[in-house]
Amino acid sequence: MASLRDIKTKITSTTKMRQITKAMEMTSAAKLNRAEVNAKRFVVYMDKIQEVVASIALGSQSATHPMLQTREVKKTGYLVITADSGLAGAYNSNVLRTVSQAIESRHTSPDEYEIIAIGRMGLQFFQKRDMPVVESVIGLADQPEFSEIKAIASNAVEMFSDGTYDELYMYYNHFISAISQQVTEKKLLPISDLQQEKSLSSYEYEPSEEEILNELLPQYAESLIYGALLDAKASEHGARMSAMKSATDNADDLIESYTLAYNRARQAAVTQEISEIVGGVAALE
């Protein structure tokens, strides 16, 4: 049986750890509230820009754009969104496992694909496996601004437009609730998921529809990346809050177990001392 000092040390260290995990849980909860609001607000903008793009792309007989056209796939780009740190349960590992499985099933050579990594965990994962990472960004704010990822988003879209990639996939965690996230694979380019609703508004265009598409489609693709990032950030904070809550609950259980063991050990020590005293008195008699 462990000594009283050893058990007391375990109780003290676990209590301190519990204070840390509880503080991290509360911090993540506060960040989650803001991130969820940001993600929901951006959905309104995305719905409107998608409506306009769909109205032009699907409602016009003459307007065309390379970003809407499928071509023979010679090289694929993968944009992967992860966190900069761990302690978020399976948040990072689920995305990275899904991407790895997709790459393994689609490609036989590293020359057939390239990776754009947003987040330190993904970047380190791919670098350790010598996978071709061509661009990365780390150290994003908990509530990121579009300006922080505009360069990497623009470059990703440009590499499709100039023929570097023939398709571009995006992987991230979609926020469902504070305790639930879903790994999402989205084919970002070519854009193929536009849906024309019956209630689409009627627009008049100046200049031509094709010129508007040339300006609007890259912005739309970049907005999809930023929207996914906001979604992923909300998922990250939710996953970390849940992970830290589980850690705090486990610490509570350990402290209770250690306290019970400490009390039993102390009782055993007291009983032994009493027995020794009684035995000593009996020997003197």
pLDDT along the chain (285 residues), means of 10: 83 95 95 93 85 73 73 94 94 96 95 96 96 95 92 92 93 93 93 62 67 84 94 96 96 94 85 76 70
Under 8 Å between Cβ of 58 and 194? yes
Q: What does the pLDDT read at residue 197?
A: 52
The radius of gyration of the chain from alpha carbons, rounded to an integer in Å, stands at 28
Q: What does the pLDDT read at residue 60?
A: 61
* Residue whose C-alpha is closest to residue 118's, from 177, 178, 161, 77: 77
pTM metric for this prediction: 0.87
What is the C-alpha to C-alpha distance for residues 122 and 47, in angstroms, rounded to an integer? 29
Q: What does the pLDDT read at residue 214?
A: 81
Under 8 Å between Cβ of 175 and 88? no
Type of residue numbered 242: S
Q: What does the pLDDT read at residue 203?
A: 63
Q: What does the pLDDT read at residue 269?
A: 78
